[in-house]
Structure 1
Amino acid sequence: MDNLVLAFAIIGVLGIGAQWLAWRFNLPAIVLMAIAGVIAGPVLNIFAAAGAGPGDPPMEALFGEFYRPIIAVAVAVILFEGGLQLNISELRGLGRGVRQLVFPGVLIAWFLGAAAAYLIAGLSWQVALLFGGIMVVTGPTVIIPLLRQSKLNSRPATLLKWEGIVNDPIGALLAVVVFEFLVIGDHGASSTDIISSLIVAAILAAGAGYGFGKLTAVSFRRGWVPEYLKPPVLLALVLVCFELANLLQHEAGLLSVTAMGVTLANSKIASINDLRLFKENITIMLVSGVFIILTANLTMDSIRSLDWSSALFLLAMLFVVRPLTVFIATIGSGLPWKERLLVGWIAPRGIVAVAVSSFFGASLVAEGYADGAKLIPLAFGMVFATVVLHGFTISPLAKALGLASRERPGVLIVGASPFSAALAAKLKDMEVPVTVADTSWRRLKPVRLANVPTYYGEILSEVTEHHMDLNRFGYLLALGGNEAHNALVATDLAPELSRAAIFQVNARGKDEEDRKALSYTLQGQTFLHSAVALDELMRRHYSGWVFQRTRLSEEYPPEQYKKDLHPEAEIVLVMRKGGLTFASREAEVKPEIGDVVLAYIPKPPDVKAEKAKENGGKDAKDTKENAKPAAEKENLKSKLV
């Protein structure tokens, strides 16, 4: 294939298609991307360039001298986006644990990994030292999706996230150190000179990242950059920072952009969430494309080079090196044994490990180290093994250890009122986890009286992130009386929960064409199909409307249920195995056999009261009739007297 535009189109379809399938079927995305790349590359040889030999890496032949720059830029943006997720405030109570996982954890993992590569995989000690440094990394590109999938508690999730993002550039720098020793040391440079130059370069690179982060924060805060230019300006600064650090020391740019991301994340910029969303979108595209490129660059010869010693090496890394590293590094950290056990098992490798292995593997072969060619298939073997095993075991293991929620995705209701209290109480009766949040202790009173969990505070506050685990919730109902606040909640939490799972009450009953109405781009889906206003819901509540739960079956199908349902009633949601489906103005729910339907219906007639009323009227009539003769008799008696 010589058509680069067609190649990019195929890469995009494979990468984004794998991401969509992973989301649709709740599978590890990186596994599907790797499979897609292997099928398109070594198996079907779709990207084979004209004139390339049968053993030549197809993607390198296709892109030529642009192959490595493409990978380098992608990895730089990915690491920056990872740093942008690291908020120092998350480390409350975890600083020591994270610090020990980084140091001495990195050195322990480096030593044990290098020993396994030398003794088991059969690499020379020089190449084993370099590969041991690369295997220190636990990539954020796979850690963060796994955390989102597994619904881990905040403590172990924070540990894994920080370790994954901080260790990525450190592992790359360790590989640089060994490579410099192997290459520069062969040309007569002393060890002292090499170490001192690397330390100085690392300090300068980290300082450059910090400086670029502060410069960006000041520029954005003071309005030197307009809103619409902030994302592209930030992207340009990331690339400049990356390349300047690389000019100081090869691969030091990885450390520099990570430091820039962490600095920016903790600079309290008002538009930080918008920037994070932009960078996350770019990162997803880059991860999808670059991982397809890397896997498609494999050849059948490199895959066949994986033998039994390689398999034993992978087993040693999984079941000996990683658990032993975490156990030794976290001694005295105060972490519970369950968290140490989970962190000791979960260590998936990602795109950074593959990219750095691809670069140094080719460089080592060029320098005369023939076993450098084994780095790429070994790295891919680690990625496959760790992502498959950890991706499919993190949820069961976390639930078994009590470090993840066993409950179905819950409902977070923002805005306390008698109506939302009644709805929350009914959801609790249906065994749906529910929490009501509000800034008013008084408004939360009916919720507390209904024995429903509450959160007293502003849901949009940064403090909330440390006191409330949003991973427990799969749905958000913004039911407050302030339409603007409801819209702000829906917009702010949309990246976390997805707009498809956020529903906002029609606070004032305005039509979307009303000039006073908020733009639909700022809101979630409208709660209830009729889009009835909050005032009307409150009127219905005080007039006696109730929530009614009904299970549909073969004996009582949806058609019969709809006939029996009161014409004014509202279907609120249906509950089925796949979760909850709320009714909205945008989409009316369609109950099916086996569903549990929750409807909001007018006050049912009181049969006893009606009977008593009827009997009371009849008795009064009888009494009146019986009283007539007695009255006439009494009247006659008075006349006689």
Structure 2
Amino acid sequence: MATGAEGAMAPVMAFALVGALGVGAQWLAWRLRLPAIVLMLLAGLIVGPATGLFDPARDIGDLMGPMVAIAVAIILFEGGLTLNLHSLRDAAPGVARLVVIGAPLGWLLSSLALHYVAGLGWATSAVFGGIMIVTGPTVIAPLLRQARLARRPAQLLQWEAIVNDPVGALAAVLAFEVVIVLASPLSPGDAAWDMVRGIAFALVLGVLAGWGISAAFRRALVPEYMKVPVLFAVLLGAFALSDWVLHESGLLAVTVMGLVIANADLPSYAEMRRFKEHATILLVSGVFILLAANMKVETLAMLDWRAAAFVAVMVLIARPVTVLASLAFSRVPWPERWLVALTGPRGVVLVAVAGLFGERLTSLGFEDGARVAPLAFALVAATVVMHGFSLAPLARALGLAGAQTPGVLIVGGSRFATALGEALKRAELPVLIADPNRARLSRAREAGLPTFYGDILSETAEHSVELVSYGMVIAATDNDAYNTLVATDVAPEFGRENVFQLKRAKQKSRRHALPATLGGRPIGGGHGYYEMNRLMTEGWRIRLTGLTEDYPLETWREANPESVVLGVIAPTGALRLVADSDEDLRAGEGSSLLSLSPPDEAQAEAG
């Protein structure tokens, strides 16, 4: 490994190590179904204070401060960009209370806990307390997917995290500006005027930058391939300019800029947001590794009994009091109130912003600013681990858990969709059949299957359908183009390996053929919609066949040569749909086969 003097790592190698550790930890967490933030914390501590292999201050030097500041700015811009006010109006009514009442109350209780329990000064407590409003949108989403909550409590937790993400950062910025004023050699009047002028400039600059980007994109003044680069260039410019006018006000400017763009109804918003999310994952993991590796052994030694008591007070007192007071006299049922009150994981945004402001406070002469980062790490690690294991059991105890086994969302109300839905229902798996044509859902309704009348890609579906209960999607309408659109649109959320569609009809002209790179995986034995409908009319059936030691998969294949395997249900109840290209099919004893079978084979088994 290339190193310099006194064991210092080459900067290029240091950057590569940060990227490998951050992305590697997130991938490993996905494979092990563990909170990614915990593995990133362990990775950073191992290569940093534990082994001394990587020291950001030594190996990166003066670049670390600006890098973390820019990364935090982009992360907060992402927070503002997720805050679509139109979607917020459709969310659960308790969200407004959790923000309007909960944010100030949470700020107050967090500051009190930091001062009286953790032993920080009032200035540091006020700044750090503002950051602690954030409940971690990057952590809440995977926890909700794992716990499979019912839609309304999941909305409460998700929207609280999304909205409070920029609110907490802004609270910290305002508190920090007040601290700067108090520490400034200027007269109180001059210092206050500088702060007000800087904050006003940041607000105006953020609004103008967001409006300018939106107007330029809407009027096609920027080509499509340059939209993301232009967006990031304007973002960095707004951050730097605002920061030059008033230190740290750039965070406020970029958050406001993101909020303006999020509510501009841009046609390219989804693509920009998707790319931005990818960049944010890299930045979040990089910042977390850097901050964890930059911890010193003597700093970690500050985590004494007061730190443990502080974490306990935040989890057991401050969070429940904040939520219960915010939702008092509301229509939110008590079980949902308790679930939200006992669930408040903190995430990477808290650590990133806390680490940034901790350094700033220390440089201003507040010695207790050095304790901000280790306290943030302790709170994040404790809440993520605790809620990662407690959320699902708590939801089940309160009767707020969704289906334990992810089901199948079928788009299209055909004979095939109804028959497949009935088979999944017999296997006790959640199933939903959606179609924008009400008449096509009549067969599914008669069979007692859950249905959704409307476009599954609409905002109504987003807020009415508990998508968290479904792990797979089958696009099976009579419109190949629509099937391809659905499969392509939902693939980033469900994972491309979990999105399927019926085979497209062959196009006589290549100019009418859809690209093979779009859409989902093929299912149904190579049959398209009309051919599948014909088979169902001729008596083909969807069968559910259990495999035993005496009746293994090989025996089933010999007895059913024409049947098409659609999926395998494991003994645990987990479903794996089978694409037409999956040649290596494995199904052992205790599994069940979901198959499409001709009349003679279906009758033979029934007999």
With normalisation by structure 1, the TM-score equals 0.87
CA distance in 2, matches of 1:176, 1:599: 59
Q: Does 1:327 align with 2:324?
A: yes
Query: Is residue 509–residue 533 contact of structure 1 (8 Å, CA) maintained in 2?
Result: no
1:604 aligned partner: 600
SS of 2:526 mapped into structure 1:
coil
Change (3 A) 1:452 1:373: same
Q: Which residues of 2 match residues 502-541 of structure 1 at below 5 A?
A: 502-509=499-506, 516-528=512-524, 530-541=525-536
Give the deviation of 1:259 after TM superposition: 2.2
Change (3 A) 1:503 1:168: closer
Q: Which residues of 2 match residues 304-323 of structure 1 at below 5 A?
A: 304-323=301-320
2:537 aligned partner: 542
**Which blocks of at least 5 consecutive residues in structure 1 are unaligned?**
48-57, 612-641
Aligned-partner residue type, residue 25 of structure 2:
A
Query: Is residue 25–residue 36 contact of structure 2 (8 Å, CA) maintained in 1?
Result: yes
Query: Is residue 148–residue 403 contact of structure 2 (8 Å, CA) maintained in 1?
Result: no
Q: Which residues of 2 match residues 34-433 of structure 1 at below 5 A?
A: 34-47=41-54, 58-92=55-89, 94=91, 97-189=94-186, 194=191, 197-433=194-430
1:634 aligned partner: none
CA distance in 2, matches of 1:65, 1:414: 54
Aligned-partner residue type, residue 561 of structure 1:
W
C-alpha distance after superposition, 1:53-73 (max 9, x if no partner): xxxxx2122222211111111
Give the deviation of 1:176 after TM superposition: 3.8
Pairing partner for 2:565 from 560, 566, 571: 571
CA distance in 2, matches of 1:401, 1:192: 54
CA distance in 2, matches of 1:445, 1:504: 22
CA distance in 2, matches of 1:475, 1:153: 18
SS of 1:532 mapped into structure 2:
strand
Greater CA deviation, 118-127 or 284-293?
118-127
Give the deviation of 1:570 after TM superposition: 0.7
Give the deviation of 1:501 after TM superposition: 0.5
Greater CA deviation, 353-362 or 470-479?
353-362
Change (3 A) 1:166 1:453: closer
Q: Does 1:559 align with 2:544?
A: no
Change (3 A) 1:331 1:433: same
CA distance in 1, matches of 2:468, 2:84: 17
Q: Does 1:587 align with 2:582?
A: yes
Change (3 A) 1:307 1:411: same
Query: Is residue 324–residue 337 contact of structure 2 (8 Å, CA) maintained in 1?
Result: yes
CA distance in 1, matches of 2:161, 2:393: 21
Query: Is residue 90–residue 463 contact of structure 2 (8 Å, CA) maintained in 1?
Result: no
Give the deviation of 1:445 after TM superposition: 1.6
CA distance in 1, matches of 2:603, 2:138: 62
CA distance in 2, matches of 1:359, 1:426: 55
Change (3 A) 1:172 1:46: same
1:11 aligned partner: 18
Give the deviation of 1:392 after TM superposition: 2.2
1:470 aligned partner: 467
Greater CA deviation, 199-208 or 274-283?
199-208
Query: Is residue 91–residue 159 contact of structure 2 (8 Å, CA) maintained in 1?
Result: no
C-alpha distance after superposition, 1:207-262 (max 9, x if no partner): 33232222222222221112211122222222222223323433222232222222
CA distance in 2, matches of 1:38, 1:494: 35
Greater CA deviation, 196-205 or 542-551?
196-205
Query: Is residue 509–residue 532 contact of structure 1 (8 Å, CA) maintained in 2?
Result: no
SS of 1:437 mapped into structure 2:
strand
Q: Which residues of 2 match residues 614-633 of structure 1 at below 5 A?
A: none
C-alpha distance after superposition, 1:507-562 (max 9, x if no partner): 31569x9664321221110113x322222212211111112211112122222122
1:456 aligned partner: 453
1:615 aligned partner: none
CA distance in 1, matches of 2:136, 2:587: 43
Give the deviation of 1:129 after TM superposition: 2.8
Greater CA deviation, 113-122 or 492-501?
113-122
Change (3 A) 1:606 1:497: closer
CA distance in 2, matches of 1:214, 1:561: 63
Give the deviation of 1:133 after TM superposition: 2.4
CA distance in 1, matches of 2:542, 2:166: 55
Give the deviation of 1:96 after TM superposition: 5.7
2:4 aligned partner: none
Query: Is residue 219–residue 225 contact of structure 1 (8 Å, CA) maintained in 2?
Result: yes
Give the deviation of 1:484 after TM superposition: 0.5
Query: Is residue 91–residue 463 contact of structure 2 (8 Å, CA) maintained in 1?
Result: no
Q: Does 1:446 align with 2:443?
A: yes
C-alpha distance after superposition, 1:491-519 (max 9, x if no partner): 111112111111110131569x9664321
SS of 1:474 mapped into structure 2:
strand
Give the deviation of 1:190 after TM superposition: 5.4
Query: Is residue 152–residue 471 contact of structure 1 (8 Å, CA) maintained in 2?
Result: yes
CA distance in 2, matches of 1:93, 1:510: 41
Query: Is residue 210–residue 259 contact of structure 1 (8 Å, CA) maintained in 2?
Result: yes
CA distance in 2, matches of 1:96, 1:540: 48
CA distance in 2, matches of 1:363, 1:454: 55
Query: Is residue 503–residue 522 contact of structure 2 (8 Å, CA) maintained in 1?
Result: yes
Query: Is residue 176–residue 250 contact of structure 1 (8 Å, CA) maintained in 2?
Result: no
Pairing partner for 2:36 from 10, 29, 32: 29
Change (3 A) 1:451 1:36: same
Larger Rg: 1
Change (3 A) 1:147 1:5: same
1:614 aligned partner: none
Give the deviation of 1:35 after TM superposition: 0.9
Aligned-partner residue type, residue 42 of structure 2:
I
Change (3 A) 1:600 1:96: closer
Give the deviation of 1:266 after TM superposition: 2.2
How many residue pairs get matched?
A: 596
Percent identity for Structure 1 against Structure 2: 45
CA distance in 2, matches of 1:268, 1:124: 44
Query: Is residue 173–residue 252 contact of structure 1 (8 Å, CA) maintained in 2?
Result: no
Aligned-partner residue type, residue 570 of structure 1:
V
Query: Is residue 178–residue 195 contact of structure 2 (8 Å, CA) maintained in 1?
Result: no
SS of 1:363 mapped into structure 2:
helix
Query: Is residue 84–residue 265 contact of structure 1 (8 Å, CA) maintained in 2?
Result: yes
